[in-house]
Amino acid sequence: MFVRNINLQQYRNYEQLQLNSFGDVNLLIGPNAQGKTNLLEAIFVLALTKSHRTSKDRELIAFEQTSAHVSATVEKKYGDVLLELRLSAQGKKAKINGLEQRKLSAFIGSLNVVMFAPEDLEIVKGTPGIRRRFLDMEIGQVQPSYLYHLQQYQKILVQRNNYLKQLWGKVDTQEGLLDIWNEQLVEHGVKIIKKRKQFIIKLQKWAEAIHHGITNGSEDLQLRYVPSFGEVTEEDEAVLFEQFMIKLRQLKDQEIRRGMTLAGPHRDDMTFYINGKEVHTYGSQGQQRTTALSLKLAEIELIKEEIGEYPVLLLDDVLSELDPYRQTQLIETFQSKVQTFITATGVESLNTDKLKNANIFHVHSGQVGS
Ligand SMILES: Nc1ncnc2c1ncn2[C@@H]1O[C@H](COP(=O)(O)OP(=O)(O)OP(=O)(O)O)[C@@H](O)[C@H]1O
């Protein structure tokens, strides 16, 4: 996959930007707060219709403006596609080759990206919610049906929680209604759990091999899915359905008391182990960083495996943070097969030998020059 050009209008600090000359490796260089990350973010938003930094779309629209527009031509295995996204207070409108998409899920996945940013360390160090967001974004990119089940699940979850709150202190005269919510929740929940489980197994395969390479074989990285209702050993949907239902029945009284759903994908987690020890708790800062890097590199390979094409790689402020060995390792991974966009405040901290064929763009106050 190759982003040929990009056009931004009223996006963050870009009033108007048209860039046409991207190459395989693109360095976006400039002082702090000039718009380097904003440009990477715009490519990310075009892929996922959401930012990696905020869930509030209005932050993406330039100050004092009411809408933003991002478009790009993406070269894919089967031809070029023109992707357009318009953001406004009324919502998002997405077009592929000029045709408006009724559902955003039909648009997501037209462009695939892997973003690696300093915040990604939080996937290893941070809260379960960050890991769930990571899983949702990554699985959603390669499997649009995942997003459908996730949306349905979240809608039902809100309604079920409201119902649980109403039940507090009352004798439940409508036992059957909670059962209906349970069935609907579990129906979509099972699909999510199954896809998460499969994704983590595939990601593990790549991450383990990559991590081995980065650490000269001294570290064995393992990823483990931690569903909220216990071990998922089965992928059979009927078995998972039953397992989830039993858990909800067991938790019923507690859920009514607390007015919330206490088991399901919204409480899942994922853990990382290096040589059998949990990285979150026992890993050094360096091991946590390397784990995050291995995950991201694994994602590149996983997307290639799933869709038959490499995604576009977005490296936000991370290359200069890596030691020379890891920088080389990362550059060698993408060089000559993955189109890459790299932001940095200067070229001094970069392995310029390895990047000598890169296209350089200078970013200053929402303007880009080569
Ligand atoms: N909605 C918006 N409208 C206009 N300007 C915005 C908006 N959101 C952010 N900005 C501006 O964008 C700039 C930050 O851009 P960006 O995050 O891309 O910086 P950067 O060049 O990547 O810097 P650093 O090297 O510090 O990461 C800030 O000046 C900020 O005020």
Angstrom CA distances, 201 to 115, 197, 235, stand at 21, 6, 12
Which residue puts its alpha carbon closest to atom 17 of ligand 1? 37
Which residue puts its alpha carbon closest to atom 5 of ligand 1? 13
Per-residue confidence (pLDDT) for residue 234, from 0 to 100 = 66
Q: How far apart are CA 114 and CA 70, in angstroms?
A: 18
Helix, strand, coil shares of the chain, percent, nearest 5, are 45, 25, 30
Per-residue confidence (pLDDT) for residue 124, from 0 to 100 = 96
Token pair belonging to 6:
């990009």
Q: How far apart are CA 8 and CA 115, in angstroms?
A: 19
Strands (E) across the chain are located at: 2-11, 14-19, 25-29, 67-76, 79-88, 91-96, 99-100, 113-116, 221-226, 269-274, 277-278, 312-316, 340-344, 359-364, 367-369
Three-state secondary-structure class, residue 358: coil
Which residue puts its alpha carbon closest to atom 28 of ligand 1? 33
- CATH 1.20.1050.90 intervals, the chain: 116-308
Q: How far apart are CA 232 and CA 239, in angstroms?
A: 10
Residue 259, number of CB atoms within 10 A of its CB: 14
Ligand 1 atom having least distance to the Cα of 62: 3
CATH 3.40.50.300 fits 1-112+312-369, yes or no: yes
Element counts in the chain: helices (H) and strands (E) = 9, 15
113 CA to middle of ligand 1, Å? 21
Per-residue confidence (pLDDT) for residue 172, from 0 to 100 = 57
Rounded to a whole number of angstroms, the CA Rg of the chain reads 22
117 CA to middle of ligand 1, Å? 15
35 CA to middle of ligand 1, Å? 5
Per-residue confidence (pLDDT) for residue 203, from 0 to 100 = 96
Beta-carbon contacts of 161 under 8 Å, excluding residues fewer than 6 positions away, are 259, 260, 261
Per-residue confidence (pLDDT) for residue 245, from 0 to 100 = 94
| CATH class in words for 116-308 | mainly alpha
Per-residue confidence (pLDDT) for residue 216, from 0 to 100 = 85
23 CA to middle of ligand 1, Å? 24
Q: How far apart are CA 336 and CA 249, in angstroms?
A: 54
Q: Are 228 and 268 in contact (CB under 8 A)?
A: yes
- CATH 3.40.50.300 intervals, the chain: 1-112+312-369
37 CA to middle of ligand 1, Å? 7
5 closest CA partner among 18, 14, 16, 98:
18
Per-residue confidence (pLDDT) for residue 173, from 0 to 100 = 58
One digit per residue, the tens of pLDDT, for the chain of length 370 reads 999 999 999 999 999 999 998 999 999 999 999 999 999 999 999 999 999 889 899 999 999 999 999 999 999 999 999 999 999 999 999 999 999 999 998 899 999 999 999 889 999 999 999 999 999 999 998 998 999 999 999 999 999 999 999 888 776 556 678 899 999 999 999 999 999 999 999 999 999 999 998 888 999 999 999 998 777 776 788 989 999 999 999 999 999 999 999 999 999 999 999 999 999 999 998 899 899 999 999 999 999 999 999 999 999 988 877 778 878 878 887 888 899 999 999 887 777 777 888 999 999 999 999 7
User: Binding site annotation covers 37?
Assistant: yes
User: Binding site annotation covers 128?
Assistant: no
Q: pTM value?
A: 0.91
For the residues of 237-252, what is the DSSP string, one character each?
HHHHHHHHHHHHHHHH
Residues with CB under 6 A from ligand 1: 12-13, 30, 32-38, 59, 61-63, 317, 343, 345, 363
Region of 365 (left: φ > 0; alpha: ψ -120 to 50; beta: rest) is: left
9, 10, 12: residue to mutate for ligand 1 pocket, most atoms within 8 A of CB: 12
User: Binding site annotation covers 34?
Assistant: yes
